[in-house]
Structure 1
Amino acid sequence: MKTWLMNQWENYRTGFWFIPSLMTMGALFLGFLMPEVDRYLDSSIPVWMQSSPETARATLTTIAGAMITAAGVVFSVTIVALSITSSQFGPRLLRNFLSDSITQIALGACLASSLYSLILLSAFSKTEDKIFLPFVSIYLALFLALVTLYILIYSLHRVASATQADNVVAEVADDLEDAISRIFPEKIGEKSKDLAHCENLAAELFSDRQPKVASVNADKEGYLQAINHEGIVDLAQEFDLVIKLRARPGDFLMQGLPIAEVYPGTELDEDVQARLNKTFIVGNRRTPQQDMECAVSELVEVAVRALSPGINDPFTAIRCVDRLGAMLRRLADREMPIPYRSDEEGALRVIARGYTFPNVLNCAFDQIRQHGRGNVAVSMRLLESLEAIADCVESDSQKAAVLRQAKMVYRGCVEAIPEENDRDDLAERYWFVLKQLGEIPENHEPFNQDWKALSDKAGS
């Protein structure tokens, strides 16, 4: 239930209708409440707050018209900003812009102030030659209009700031940091304490020779946005099952293809399959709630677009590489969550499909490396980032992933860059990466040919 609510909140906050709707409903409530407050305070309202009916009507009419006009300005500016963001940084970055609450609050404040003023116009009444005017309500309308103007000014400032490349990259990087904090490590049920036992049991239960394993197929099509892990553990415990997930958030599910394997398959009926499918939240797009690679891919998309011939902005690509390198350094220091999850009694229940450091590294650098292979500045920054990452990695698999990526960066540059001095500079940076990883340079090209001279140059 918690996972579903978080996913719904993600959908609500990335739309322009939710906050404005709440604010207009609040204005509707105030519009009917405040005249009653005025009737209660009618005899105690000071003379300086009172005015003529014509002045009161003109004030409210002006506020209502001005706020509707301001709402049109907010809408127009927002559409222009969305167009710029989509064309320059990619349509997937619209999610970050749409989730900015300031723009939603500005639009909602304009609509709410206008609606409140219109409702007050209908509160004017005449009894026994006396016209009732809600003076307190009118002054509240003036105050709301003033606050709305300040919100509008700040909103325009935010829009102007949000469309700058450095700020776009920083905001996506913040989303990525939040995703890392949520997912690494991520608690799914209770962590199995006996890792070796779980590995052996999983290999035994889900081997190719195991006849009792049955597959659960997806009943819908789309991107897997989140998984209700607690619900899966409860389902497995209820029917005494062990469930091996074949999909993780970010994967595209195709109807009819397996998303999980269940042991024993004899307990797998239509009800269990339907309940298991309900724990998979599927949508039309990827979200960073449980999908860390979604935020990584957004940064990669900004970098790749910046390297395209139509934009040709290597500086933005370098900013993205810097952020990705910093993220990977933090990730290298974190404990990767083990895939085995047990119930409260310690029995193995779920085998999740998680992330690995090599996969995230490849997701972050592969496309930038491929599109920037002819750009010396971007390739140099890639090697510098890999050198910084190499300083944090400890396991052999992490070191092998960094070494593989550094080799591909260097080989691609040698093939694409004709200038010899540029190639020497890249080789020097590559030499530093190898030394940081604890490798012997003469065991790798090009240092196995004339590595000593280059080594002396790098050390000088």
Structure 2
Amino acid sequence: MTARIRVLWLAIKGSYWFYPAVFAIGAFILSSATLSLDRNSNTAWLGELGIIELSGPDSASDILGLVAGAMLGVASTVFSITIAAVAYASGTYGPRLLNNFMEDRGNKLSLAVFISTFVFCVNVLRTIRHEGAVTTGVGGDSIELSSFVPNFSLFVSYILIVVAVGTLVYFLHHIPASIRINTVLENIGRRLIHDIDEIYPDKNGAIVSEGAFSGQPITAHFAGYVQSISFGQLEDVARESGGRISLACRTGDFLHPGMVLAHWRSDDGPEGGSFDQNEARSAFALGGMRTSDQDLRFLIDELVEIGLRALSPGINDPFTAITALHWLGAATAELGQRSLNHKQPDDADSRVIRLHTSFSHYVGRGFGSMRSGVATSPLAASVALETIANTARVIDNETRRSQLMQEADLLFEQAQKALTGPDFDLVEARYRSVQAMSG
């Protein structure tokens, strides 16, 4: 259940309605508070201090009506521009990148500021009264009202207007900046490196992975991608049942009914004890698409997708692929310097064994997946070989360095079949140089 709540919360934060809804509620509360001050206190001090010119009912109504209409129009324009940018990015960089733009806080906060300013102005506008205005009471009697101009609320609306104008300037800069390919790749690369540090914080490499085991299977009841796993909930299930749980899947894997999520084994032996399968199963959240939560491979795949699209014959942009290779190299270097074991030193009594992902798997997922496209471009192939060599140079583990150099060998072998003439000579010279540096 915890995993499903986590996925739901991430989906809510990634939606376009969350921030505007929260800001709109906040604007309504703020307007109610400022109106209460206007009703219960003397706001003449605003005019005495020269902060604003105190307005009459007509001018106050005109100002608030104008601002409310303008904010609604700007919000509509902002939403249209955002959708156009998202459509462009999805078509150019790949549909997998759609989530990155949907989760962009700058776009959602900009929309939220305009909508909240509109809500504030409308709520204040409805309270303005002219002298002698008549309304109908509860008993049907006519009641003559006195003039009311909420000057303090009007002052707050001026502040919100200034904020909205600043937000519009920011938005007009943010949209073109956010869809630049270098910015897109940088955001993915930095997020990948950050997630590597979160998932594999240990750099000493001294932890030995505990091997997986077989036992009573915990099977999936639904088809979908594993979006999130609640490891704390699995720990509780294992402790309460007096057993251990060994995962048989990773976040990002696709499962269908009957496939094994994990195995449970009692401390008393293979045949002893029992446990609540449904409780253990609820620790896995399955959905219709992969997410970057707990899944490094998703972000690696995004870099690979952009690189391969850039190298496709229809686009033929090796420089974008080179940028993707550089960030892939930086992430691979981080992985190469870490213990790829989820179990931490202070988790000596952990009863959940996660499925191990090897360094060679990450190398193949990144550089290996791009190999076929990179090998067709002499420029990209040369940079890929250089990136692999630079990555290997900062890794102390000899086994991992050799795995990287094996990828360089495979890339050169692929380039032999894809390139000829001077193009191949360029790649071969770089490959020989890399071999010499690796010693």
Of the candidates 44, 65, 77, which is equivalent to residue 61 of structure 1? 65
Q: Name the stretch that deviates more: 232-241 or 279-288.
A: 279-288
Aligned partner of 2:407 in structure 1 is 405
Aligned partner of 1:33 in structure 2 is 33
The correspondence of residues 252-401 of structure 1 with structure 2, limited to 5 A, is 252-264=254-266, 266=271, 272-337=276-341, 346=349, 349-401=351-403
CA contact (8 A) 1:27 1:112 kept: yes
CA contact (8 A) 2:193 2:334 kept: no
CA contact (8 A) 1:390 1:436 kept: no
**C-alpha separation in 2, matches of 1:288 and 1:194:** 26
**C-alpha separation in 1, matches of 2:315 and 2:322:** 14
Of the candidates 85, 89, 101, which is equivalent to residue 81 of structure 1? 85
Q: CA deviation at 1:8?
A: 4.0
Aligned partner of 1:424 in structure 2 is 425
Q: Which amino acid aligns with 2:155?
A: Y
Residue 239 to residue 382, structure 1, CA distance change in 2 (3 Å): same
**C-alpha separation in 1, matches of 2:338 and 2:384:** 22
Q: Name the stretch that deviates more: 176-185 or 424-433.
A: 424-433
CA contact (8 A) 1:286 1:294 kept: yes
Q: CA deviation at 1:433?
A: 2.8
Q: Which amino acid aligns with 2:435?
A: L
Q: Name the stretch that deviates more: 229-238 or 317-326.
A: 229-238
Aligned partner of 1:447 in structure 2 is none
Structure 1 unaligned runs (5+)? 188-192, 207-212, 439-460
Residue 43 to residue 170, structure 1, CA distance change in 2 (3 Å): closer
Aligned partner of 1:443 in structure 2 is none
Residue 119 to residue 408, structure 1, CA distance change in 2 (3 Å): same
Indicate yes or no: 2:155 matched with 1:154. no
Q: CA deviation at 1:350?
A: 2.3
Aligned length: 418
Indicate yes or no: 2:179 matched with 1:163. yes
Q: Which amino acid aligns with 2:192?
A: L
Q: CA deviation at 1:41?
A: 2.3
**C-alpha separation in 1, matches of 2:311 and 2:273:** 50
The CA RMSD measured in Å over matched residues stands at: 2.5
**C-alpha separation in 2, matches of 1:129 and 1:434:** 90
Identical-pair percentage: 28
Q: CA deviation at 1:51?
A: 1.8
Indicate yes or no: 2:16 matched with 1:16. yes
Residue 233 to residue 81, structure 1, CA distance change in 2 (3 Å): same
Q: Which amino acid aligns with 1:166?
A: N
Aligned partner of 2:139 in structure 1 is none
**C-alpha separation in 2, matches of 1:54 and 1:244:** 72
- 1:385-431 superposed Cα distances (whole Å, 9 cap, x missing partner): 11112213344541342132111111111111121x33232222222
- 1:12-70 superposed Cα distances (whole Å, 9 cap, x missing partner): 33221111111000111122221111112236445563222111111111001000010
Aligned partner of 2:198 in structure 1 is 182
CA contact (8 A) 2:200 2:341 kept: yes
* 1:260 partner SS: strand
- 1:199-218 superposed Cα distances (whole Å, 9 cap, x missing partner): 5xx6xx64xxxxxx221111
**C-alpha separation in 2, matches of 1:391 and 1:351:** 32
**C-alpha separation in 2, matches of 1:391 and 1:181:** 20
**C-alpha separation in 2, matches of 1:194 and 1:316:** 38
**TM-score where L is the length of structure 1:** 0.84
Q: Which amino acid aligns with 1:295?
A: L
**C-alpha separation in 2, matches of 1:340 and 1:59:** 61
Residue 87 to residue 268, structure 1, CA distance change in 2 (3 Å): farther
* 1:225 partner SS: strand
**C-alpha separation in 2, matches of 1:340 and 1:162:** 37
- 1:248-285 superposed Cα distances (whole Å, 9 cap, x missing partner): 1111121221111121465676x611111111122222
**C-alpha separation in 2, matches of 1:242 and 1:341:** 18
Residue 276 to residue 252, structure 1, CA distance change in 2 (3 Å): same
**C-alpha separation in 2, matches of 1:194 and 1:333:** 13
* 1:401 partner SS: helix
Aligned partner of 2:435 in structure 1 is 434
CA contact (8 A) 2:374 2:384 kept: no
**C-alpha separation in 1, matches of 2:94 and 2:102:** 14
**C-alpha separation in 1, matches of 2:218 and 2:338:** 32
Residue 267 to residue 62, structure 1, CA distance change in 2 (3 Å): farther
CA contact (8 A) 2:3 2:282 kept: no
Aligned partner of 2:251 in structure 1 is 249
Q: CA deviation at 1:340?
A: 9.2
CA contact (8 A) 1:340 1:350 kept: no
Q: Name the stretch that deviates more: 30-39 or 15-24.
A: 30-39
Of the candidates 224, 229, 242, which is equivalent to residue 240 of structure 1? 242
Structure 2 unaligned runs (5+)? 133-143
Q: Which amino acid aligns with 2:411?
A: V
Of the candidates 91, 97, 102, which is equivalent to residue 95 of structure 2? 91
**C-alpha separation in 2, matches of 1:354 and 1:86:** 32
CA contact (8 A) 1:173 1:323 kept: yes
Q: Which amino acid aligns with 1:12?
A: I
Q: Which amino acid aligns with 1:302?
A: I
Residue 44 to residue 82, structure 1, CA distance change in 2 (3 Å): same
Q: CA deviation at 1:195?
A: 4.6
**C-alpha separation in 2, matches of 1:89 and 1:370:** 18
Aligned partner of 2:135 in structure 1 is none
**TM-score where L is the length of structure 2:** 0.88
CA contact (8 A) 1:182 1:290 kept: no
CA contact (8 A) 1:379 1:409 kept: yes
